[in-house]
Amino acid sequence: MKSDEIIKSDHKAVLDMVESNSSVLDLGCGGGDLLELLTIKKNVRGQGIEIDEQAIYRCVAKGLSVLHGDIDTGLSEYKDKAFDYVILNQSLQQLKHVETVLFDALRVGKKVIVGFPNFAYCRARLRLFFRGRVPITASLPYTWYETPNLHFLSTLDFLDYCKEKKIKVERKVYLAADKRIQILPNFFANIGIFLISK
């Protein structure tokens, strides 16, 4: 249940970042919940890409346009600035080739929205520090042997990276459960969502 609330609040944050009637490419769109929300609430022209076959069927049942494929192989078939937004929500940390995909997303989208679990979240820190165990939190719910996550990063890691690569960070939203976090976000937020552009 708790993770459900978190999914809702991160979708809400993305919803706030997207302009009405825009075009959206959702990379790793899963069953299409976010894309459906954007279609209904913001009348976006949406396109999803998803690797899981069963998730494709759920997207199609929602009337969404979805492509069965691996985003790790890149987005070379899309023209520059083909979409107003490219979304990488909860999929960045699962990519094999983060840089390739992120830069391709910045080429294909006028803006990119990236959302990922914050590894430096206070509960994660406590679990690691006091219990000596790899963090299992609401936003990082997996055991070490079944996690699909390949990269573990904090929100500060991401901001450092953007600075180094000269990626403009236009908006930052930090979340924990249903709340937006303003103070010490890298400590108190378990999800970070960023609107970036090149």
**Pick 15 or 82: Cβ nearer another protein:** 82
Antiparallel, parallel or unpaired: β 168-176 and 179-180: antiparallel
**Pick 42 or 68: Cβ nearer another protein:** 68
Q: Shortest approach of another protein to residue 63 CB, angstroms? A: 4
CB neighbour burial string for 155-177, b if at least 16 within 10 angstroms, e if fewer: bebbbeebeeeebeeeebbbbbe
CB neighbour burial string for 40-51, b if at least 16 within 10 angstroms, e if fewer: eebebebbbbbe
Which residues of this protein are in contact with another protein, per CB under 8 A? 45, 47, 53, 56-57, 59-61, 63-69, 77-79, 82
Q: Shortest approach of another protein to residue 95 CB, angstroms? A: 19
**Pick 64 or 105: Cβ nearer another protein:** 64
Q: Shortest approach of another protein to residue 56 CB, angstroms? A: 5
**Pick 5 or 70: Cβ nearer another protein:** 70
